[in-house]
């Protein structure tokens, strides 16, 4: 019931915002559409979640020129396919997520942690497909981030635990 209420609210909000055509509104709509897809996915309706992401959320995020949001949408698709044991499609979408993030390097901790998380997820997907050479390549990329930012990540994790 609660997810139905969220889903209905997201659908209404998206519908009301469709008449506006600014980058800011596109950015808000892509987040709304992501949450709508997430609600469908949580209700075990992966097909509707995939449809919303591919047909609406990604095109809207592209209009907002929000590379981080686009990457997160691709990763979400990868996760849906990963959870349904479709490693080939999971591989394709997580790869797209990584390439999208790598196109727009941002010097902040959230970006870095996202990229690291994407690499680690991709390494898992590649390893399960026995693509060990590719997995090693991304493991090296992840290791560079860990080496460069380990002190920051550990410090923030420590603060969170206190």
pLDDT digits (tens, 9 = 90+) for 5-50: 889 999 999 999 999 999 999 999 999 999 999 999 999 999 999 9
* Residue-averaged pLDDT of the chain: 90
pTM: 0.87
The span from the first CA to the last CA of the chain, in angstroms, equals 36
Predicted local distance difference test score (pLDDT) of residue 150:
65
- Select from 65, 64, 36 the least CA-distant residue to 50: 36
What's 55's DSSP letter? Answer: I
Q: Both tokens of residue 20? A: 């506006």
* Whether pLDDT at 161 is above 80: no
Predicted local distance difference test score (pLDDT) of residue 162:
43
* Whether pLDDT at 159 is above 70: no
pLDDT tens string 88-118: 999 999 999 999 999 877 776 778 888 999 9
Predicted local distance difference test score (pLDDT) of residue 13:
95
Q: How many CB atoms lie within 10 A of CB 37?
A: 27
């Amino acid at each position: 019931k609660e997810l139905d209420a969220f889903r209905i609210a997201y659908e209404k909000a998206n519908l009301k915002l469709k008449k506006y055509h600014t980058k800011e509104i596109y950015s808000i709509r892509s987040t709304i559409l992501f949450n709508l897809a997430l609600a469908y996915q949580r209700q075990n309706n992966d097909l509707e979640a995939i449809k919303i992401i591919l047909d609406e959320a990604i095109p809207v995020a592209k209009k907002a020129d929000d590379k981080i949001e686009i990457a997160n949408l691709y990763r979400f698709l990868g996760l849906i396919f990963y959870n349904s044991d479709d490693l080939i499609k999971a591989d394709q979408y997580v790869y797209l997520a990584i390439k999208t993030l790598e196109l727009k390097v941002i010097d902040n901790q959230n970006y870095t942690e996202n990229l690291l998380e994407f690499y680690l997820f991709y390494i898992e997907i590649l390893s399960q497909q026995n693509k060990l050479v590719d997995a090693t390549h991304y493991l090296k990329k992840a290791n560079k981030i860990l080496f460069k930012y380990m002190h920051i990540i550990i410090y923030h994790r420590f603060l969170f635990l206190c």
